[in-house]
Structure formats: structure tokens, C-alpha cells
Amino acid sequence: MTVLPILIALVGGTVYVSPTEEPIRNGVVLINDGKIAAVGTRAQVRIPHGTQVLDCSGRTITAGFWNSHVHFTERKWIDVPGIPAVDLNQQLQDMFTRYGFTAAFDLSSIWENTRRLRDRIEAGEISGPRIYSTGLGLLPSNPGLPPDSIINFMGWMKTAPPEVSDEAQAQAESRKLLESGVDGIKLFVSAPSRSSLGESVIQTIVNEAHRLGKPVFVHPNSGADVLAALRGGADVIAHTTPQSGPWDQAILAAMKERRAALIPTLWIWKWYARHDRRSAQDKIVTSEVGQLRAWVQNGGTILFGTDLGAVDPDPIEEYMLMTQAGMSFRQILASLTTAPAERFGQSNTLGRIAPGFQADVVVLKGDPSKDIRSLANVQYTLRDGKTIYQVREFSPGGNRVPILSY
Ligand SMILES: [Zn+2]
């Protein structure tokens, strides 16, 4: 890991201290010992002698990004303690740090394994995002999951998610997860077999999580699933449901009343439909974009998330689809920074560039207010003031160092 001097200054960029405030042009972000020490114009911020200066002229600077829907379930994560640091660093870079993600919420994976990954990151052995996790998601009984041969073909780890059929099991399984230290609970309202969790079962799970102040995420397959989850008291809807048609006023009103947050995951549905006829693909996109647009128009909270681990890691399509749904650059920035920090109880230390906040910062090459694709064009990613990603530029000899590919 790169060891940097304690004082770092990002100088000359356009700084978005938050999604709602006017950006500071030709700004300075001064970082001291992992925290933001000062932010302002060049005239306002004095840069002490001995500070390491990163020239950010022509760049855009924002708080570090959150991906609020990821999974550490691909085969490459099997047995984290046995994976060499160099491999883990590369895997975390390919998925997170090269795109500016400094925090991620894992919504179903083997908690024991994911916790080891987090431990190795937090110990400073490898560079990666802050990891939050629900552990394995709770399923209805007899879910009808795909056989091992398909799981293997898809490249995923074999898991045995807990199944619950009644309140007693719901209480026992959610307590077991919470006692093992997870940061939230994930549940699947309905399963491929069409079995589903009843509202009282959902309510039991929600009560257990809320008793400890932890959020409940739901995977819905339809608007009816969304309603059932909300009636049970769930907090975060982890997907749109493009197969089920538009969300009517009853669904939107229930989401609003419950103060639910939505993770749209538009890109994965488009990607899953890639083998279908073009007209069928267009139908999926129109449906999911319409659902997100309706929620945006209702002033709802949106958390950026891609179902990373099940989809190609480049987030550029997600940004473009969110734009298609009528979200402005600033609204998308909120879904990446302040909205998740608030929702997950971290808004006093994360999500903004403000004195005293952790120095989780992204330096973008272009101007995302003019071209949203610039959000995926990252020059530096800093976490706690450490550079955890830096784009490889032309070497002094003029040989082009290959940019990462997959
Ligand atoms: Zn998922």
C-alpha cells in the first residue's frame, strides 16, 4: 500500500462538497491524517509547507462513492484468507476502486468469508472500500433455486441461504444473523418456485433488525412484492421490477409513507435481457426507467447500486439509464454519496467533503455535470486520505502502460 505523507492537498479542481451546494472552482481540498482539514478556493485555503500536492486542474472532485447493492459471491472470493493480497487488490480494483467506490453494501454473501475480506482491508493489508454486509439473504421455504451445475456455470460460490416459513423461523434465523454481527438483513419476498414470505414473517424479521437499528433490504419480483415488503416495514427496495409493469400510485404512496429508499439496478435488467429480441430489451428498459422516473418525480430517496458481482462491473450504463429516468447529475451524485451515508447512519463522517469528515474522495477526469459518463472516468480514489487507486498514465519514456481491462 502506498504510504503518503500526512498532509495532502488536491489543488485546482472543481470541488462538489455536496450534491446541493454550488461547486468551488479552482478549489483546494486539504487532507490531514486521513480527514478533511479544509476545503475552499485557493485564496481561502493555506497549504502548509511540506504538503504533498496533487494537481487536479481540469478535474472534478467529489466525496467517495457508495455502491449500495453488491455481492461477494463470485468464485474468485472463495476462501478469502487463502487468497494472496495481490489477487485481492486486483479484484477490488476491478470492481470498486477504479470506479471511485469507497463504500459498498453487500446484500447476500457468506458473512464469515466477507468479514475476513473486510478485516484484511481494515488491517491495511489490501486496498478496498468500506464493506457493510447483510450476510446471506433470507428466502421463503422451498425456493426452487437453480441446481449446483448452473451455479457453477454462472461462476458463483455455492451457498445455502436460510429458508423461513413462519414467524418462529424468521425470528430464529434473523437473530442468528444479527448476533453474528451483520450490518443489516436482506430478504427475498418471493422465490423462483413462487413461494413467498407472508407479511407477518416479514414483520418479524423487520422487528428483529430494527431492535438493533439495522436496515432491512428486500428483493422484490413484482409491485405486489414491494407492497408486501413495505407493509412489513422494510426500509430499502433493492431493485426495480421491470417484469411487472408500471408502479401505480398505491405502490408509490406506500413507498413514500414508509420513507423507503430505492436501489434501481437498471443496468442488470438490461444486461440480463441482452439475448432477447431488441423489442423485448426495449420493453424492459422502458419499464424500469418508468418505475425510477415515477419515484424520482415523487421526491423519493435513491441509493446507487448495480448488483455488482452479478453484472459487468463498469457502472457507466447505470449512470446513463438513471439520466434517462430524468435524474440530474446532482441527483445521481446524491445517490452515490449523501443519500447512502444518511440512510446507513454515517452522515456525520461520510458522504460530503467537509472539515472533520473522513477523507474519502474521488477525482474525476472530466466534468460529470456536462457528461454523466465522466462519473466512471476516475483519476484518483482516496479512502481515509490514502490513495487506493490511481489511473496509470503515459510513462515518462512514452510507452503506454495498458489501462486495466477485463
Ligand atoms: Zn443482488
Residue 361 forms beta bridges with which residues? 63, 382
Per DSSP, helices labelled H in 337-379 are: 338-343
- The pLDDT score that the predictor gives to residue 240 is 98
**What is the rounded CA–CA span in Å between residue 192 and residue 140?**
10
Q: How much distance in Å is there from the Cα of 5 to the middle of ligand 1?
A: 39
Angle at alpha carbon of residue 215, lines to 92 and 187, rounded to 5° = 80
Buried b (16+ CB within 10 A) or exposed e, 3-42: eeeebbbbbbbbbbbbbeeebbeebbbbbbebebbbbbee
CB under 8 Å to 348, separation ≥6 — which residues?
none
Angle at alpha carbon of residue 346, lines to 343 and 349, rounded to 5° = 145
What type of residue is 104? A
Q: How much distance in Å is there from the Cα of 181 to the middle of ligand 1?
A: 20
Q: How much distance in Å is there from the Cα of 326 to the middle of ligand 1?
A: 24
**What is the rounded CA–CA span in Å between residue 217 and residue 69?**
10
CB under 8 Å to 248, separation ≥6 — which residues?
223
pLDDT tens digits along 238-273: 999 999 989 999 999 999 999 999 999 999 999 999
Q: Is the dihedral of CA 32, 36, 40, 41 positive or negative?
A: positive
Prediction pTM value: 0.94
The residue behind cell 441461504 is: 161
CB under 8 Å to 294, separation ≥6 — which residues?
246, 247, 252
Going by C-alpha positions, the residue among 296, 303, 382 that lies closest to residue 342 is: 303
Summarize the chain as % helix, strand, coil (round to 5). 35, 20, 45
Model confidence at 397: pLDDT above 60: no
Q: How much distance in Å is there from the Cα of 214 to the middle of ligand 1?
A: 18
**What is the rounded CA–CA span in Å between residue 60 and residue 393?**
18
Q: How much distance in Å is there from the Cα of 109 to the middle of ligand 1?
A: 10
**What is the rounded CA–CA span in Å between residue 158 and residue 149?**
10
pLDDT tens digits along 121-149: 999 999 999 999 999 999 999 888 888 89
Portion of the chain with pLDDT greater than 70, in percent: 95
Q: How much distance in Å is there from the Cα of 324 to the middle of ligand 1?
A: 22
Model confidence at 405: pLDDT above 50: no
Q: How much distance in Å is there from the Cα of 306 to the middle of ligand 1?
A: 8
Q: How much distance in Å is there from the Cα of 69 to the middle of ligand 1?
A: 6
Looking from the CA of 151 toward its CB, the CA atoms found within 13 Å total: 13
Q: How much distance in Å is there from the Cα of 43 to the middle of ligand 1?
A: 46
Which H/E stretch holds residue 280? helix 278-297
Q: How much distance in Å is there from the Cα of 132 to the middle of ligand 1?
A: 14
- The pLDDT score that the predictor gives to residue 144 is 86
Q: How much distance in Å is there from the Cα of 219 to the middle of ligand 1?
A: 8
Helix axes 223-231, 199-211, angle to 10 degrees: 50
Contact of 352 with 336, CB cutoff 8 Å: no
Q: How much distance in Å is there from the Cα of 307 to the middle of ligand 1?
A: 5
Q: How much distance in Å is there from the Cα of 221 to the middle of ligand 1?
A: 12
**What is the rounded CA–CA span in Å between residue 377 and residue 30?**
22
Q: How much distance in Å is there from the Cα of 284 to the middle of ligand 1?
A: 18
Q: How much distance in Å is there from the Cα of 65 to the middle of ligand 1?
A: 18
Q: Say which DSSP state 267 is in.
A: H
Q: How much distance in Å is there from the Cα of 233 to the middle of ligand 1?
A: 20
pLDDT tens digits along 149-170: 999 888 999 998 999 999 999 9
What type of residue is 191? A
69-93: average pLDDT:
98
- The pLDDT score that the predictor gives to residue 6 is 82
Q: How much distance in Å is there from the Cα of 66 to the middle of ligand 1?
A: 15
pLDDT tens digits along 180-232: 999 999 999 999 888 999 999 999 999 999 999 999 999 999 999 999 999 99
